[in-house]
Structure 1
Amino acid sequence: MDESQITRYLDRFGATRPAEPDAGSLRALQLAHLEAVPFENLSIHLGEPISLKPGALFDKIVDSRRGGFCYELNGLFAELLTALGYQVTMLAARVFHGSTPGPLFDHMALRVDLDEPWLVDVGFGDFADEPLRLDERGEQSDGGGVFQIVPAPSGSGDLDILHRGEQGYRLTARPYELADFVPTCWWQTTSTQSHFTRSPVCSMRTAQGRTTISGRKLIHTVHGERTERVLSEIELLPAYLDHFGIALDRPPAAGA
C-alpha cells in the first residue's frame, strides 16, 4: 500500500495517521473503522464478483465506499496496519454455531504484536470495539460488551473467544496468507449452506449502538434498546445510502 492509498484509506474512515504504531493508535483506528465501514454481504446478492486481491479490496472498500465481510475487511485493514508499521499476522478461526465450531477458515481475524499480542477484528459484525489482549484470560470489557479469551478444550493451542459469555469463534495460532482464505471465501459466496447466501445484511457500529439492514428489516440498537421495522421497496435503496453511505442502483436479491 503506497502513501496515496494510505491517505485515501484513512480518509475513508475519518482517521488520522498515527505518529507511531502503538496500542492507543491501534484502538483509535479499529473503532473509527467500525463506525465508518460496514460489515455487509451485498455483493453476493447483487451478483458482483468478490476478489481478495489487495487492489480489488481497495477499489471496493475505499474507492467505491463499500464494506465487506471478514476476509475483505480484515484483509485490507491488515494491509493498512502493515503499511503503518504494525506487525500483523492473519489468523484463521472457526465460528461457533451453537456449541459446535464451524470449519477452519470460516473467519479471518488479525494478530498485532506490540509490547504484547492483540486480537484485532473489524470483520465480525457485532464484536469488540477495541483490540483484545490475546494473552489475557480474564474478562475484557469495552463498548461492544464483555469478552474473554480462554484456551480451547482440545489442548491444541487454539483459543476460544467468548462474547457476553457465549462462544464467538475458535482462533488458531498458525499464521496464514490472504490467499489461503480464497477457497472458503468462494464457498461462503456460492453455497446454499453458507449463511451469507441466505439473506443480504449490512450492519455498522454507531456512536450509540448499531444500525443494521437485514433483508428489508431496518434495525436500530441505541444504548441497548432495539427497534425494528420493515422497509418498503421504495425505502430500501435510500436507507442504504442514508445509514451506510452505500449507493446502489438496484436492490440486492432476497437470498438463497
Structure 2
Amino acid sequence: MTDHEETAGLSDTSVRRYLERIGARRPDRADAEALRELHLRHLLTVPFENLSIHLGQDIVLDEKALVDKVVEARRGGFCYELNAAFAALLRALSYRVELLQARVLGPDGRVGIPYDHMALRVETADGERLLADVGFGDHSHHPLALDERGEQSDPSGTFVIVAAPGAEGDLDVVRDGKPQYRLEPRPRELADFTAGAWYHRTSPESHFTRGVICSLLTEDGRVSIGGRKLYRTVAGERVEREFGTDEELREAYRELFGIALDELPVVPGPGKRKP
C-alpha cells in the first residue's frame, strides 16, 4: 500500500501518524484487547478540551479536519471531535464502528438535548460489541461490553448498562450508581451531530460556553486546567492552585497538554460571545 492509498477513509500515513500521536502500535487484529489499549492510550494523550470555543475557532464536523486537529495540530476537543476522530482510526484498523447519539443525564434527572453527546459502538473481528468513548472527560478508561447488563469494573469505577426507563431500546450508562448518559442504539452519521455541536459551541445554556476546560487522564490520576486554575488528582487526592501570570498559564498548557497557544482562551461576559 502506498501513502496515498485510502484505508477506510484514512491514508496509511495518517493511520501511522495517529498511532504515533497516541503512542500505540498498530494491532495485528481488530480484537477487544487491541481496542482496550487504543482506548486507554487515546485518553492518556489526547485531552478533553473546549479551547476552540473560547478562541473563536470554528468546529467543523469533517473527518479529515478532526483527525488533522488531533494528529497534526496536536490538540484535543470535546465529544464530537474526539470520538469522530477515534472512529476514523478504528475503521482504518478494520473495526466496524457506528456513531451513537446520547443525551447526558444530569444529577437532578434532567435529560439533555438530542445529540447532546456522541459515543461509539465498536464491533471487533470476533463479533464482540463494545461501547467506546474517549470524549466524555472523566469516564471509563476501557471500552464497556455493550451487551452486558451486569456490573463492569473499570479503574474509574463500576459501570452498568441498563435499559432506559420508558424509552424502548435506549440504554442508560451508569457509573457508581449515577446515570451518565442515555444511548439511542440507532446508528447515526457525523453530519447528524451538527446541531448538537452548534448548540454546545454557542448556547449560554451549554456548560461548554460558560468556562474553559482542558483535562487529561494520567497514569496516576488526572490533570486539568479550568479557567485559570490547575487541578491535579493523584491516587484520589485532589489539589488545586491558581496561575499567577498569563505566561505561567501558557507554559502549563505546553507542558501538561502539548498545546502551544498564541493567545489564551477567554470566556466572554454575560450576553456576549465570540463569533
What band does the TM-score fall into relative to the shorter chain? over 0.9
Q: TM-score, normalised by structure 2?
A: 0.91
Is the Cα–Cα contact under 8 Å of residues 51 and 213 in structure 2 kept in the other structure?
yes
Identify the match of residue 133 of structure 1 among 145, 154, 167: 145
- Cα offset, 1:133, TM superposition: 0.5
Bigger shift: residues 187-196 or 32-41: 187-196
Structure 1 SS opposite 2:208: coil
- Cα offset, 1:116, TM superposition: 2.2
- Cα offset, 1:137, TM superposition: 1.1
Task: Report the counterpart of residue 172 of structure 1 in structure 2.
Answer: 184
CA separation in 1, counterparts of 2:244 and 2:190?
38
Task: Report the counterpart of residue 84 of structure 2 in structure 1.
Answer: 75
- Cα offset, 1:155, TM superposition: 4.1
CA separation in 1, counterparts of 2:268 and 2:24?
34
Task: Report the counterpart of residue 147 of structure 1 in structure 2.
Answer: 159
Is the Cα–Cα contact under 8 Å of residues 95 and 102 in structure 1 kept in the other structure?
yes
Task: Count how many residue pairs are aligned between Structure 1 and Structure 2.
Answer: 256
Structure 2 SS opposite 1:197: helix
Is the Cα–Cα contact under 8 Å of residues 19 and 25 in structure 2 kept in the other structure?
yes
CA separation in 1, counterparts of 2:183 and 2:56?
31
Task: Report the counterpart of residue 243 of structure 2 in structure 1.
Answer: 231
- Cα offset, 1:232, TM superposition: 1.8
1:194-252 deviation digits (Å, cap 9, x = unpaired): 11000110000000010000111100011111111111233111011111111101110
- Is the aligned partner of 1:241 residue 2:254? yes
CA separation in 1, counterparts of 2:80 and 2:268?
20
Give the counterpart letter for 2:250 in structure 1: L
- Cα offset, 1:255, TM superposition: 4.4
- Is the aligned partner of 1:104 residue 2:114? yes
- Is the aligned partner of 1:53 residue 2:66? no
Identify the match of residue 22 of structure 1 among 16, 26, 31: 31
Q: TM-score, normalised by structure 1?
A: 0.98
- Cα offset, 1:159, TM superposition: 0.5
1:15-70 deviation digits (Å, cap 9, x = unpaired): 10000100000000000000000000000001111111112112211101000000
Gap regions ≥5 residues in structure 2: 1-9, 270-275
Question: Which protein has the larger Cα radius of gyration, Structure 1 or Structure 2?
Answer: 2
- Is the aligned partner of 1:199 residue 2:211? yes
CA separation in 1, counterparts of 2:67 and 2:162?
34
Aligned identity (percent) is 55
CA separation in 1, counterparts of 2:244 and 2:194?
36
Structure 2 SS opposite 1:19: coil
Is the Cα–Cα contact under 8 Å of residues 46 and 251 in structure 1 kept in the other structure?
yes
Query: 4+ residue stretches of structure 1 with deviation over 3 A?
Result: none
Task: Report the counterpart of residue 88 of structure 1 in structure 2.
Answer: 97
Structure 2 SS opposite 1:35: helix
Q: How does 1:211-230 map to 2 (within 5 A)?
A: 211-230=223-242
Is the Cα–Cα contact under 8 Å of residues 223 and 231 in structure 2 kept in the other structure?
yes
Structure 2 SS opposite 1:100: coil
Is the Cα–Cα contact under 8 Å of residues 199 and 255 in structure 1 kept in the other structure?
no
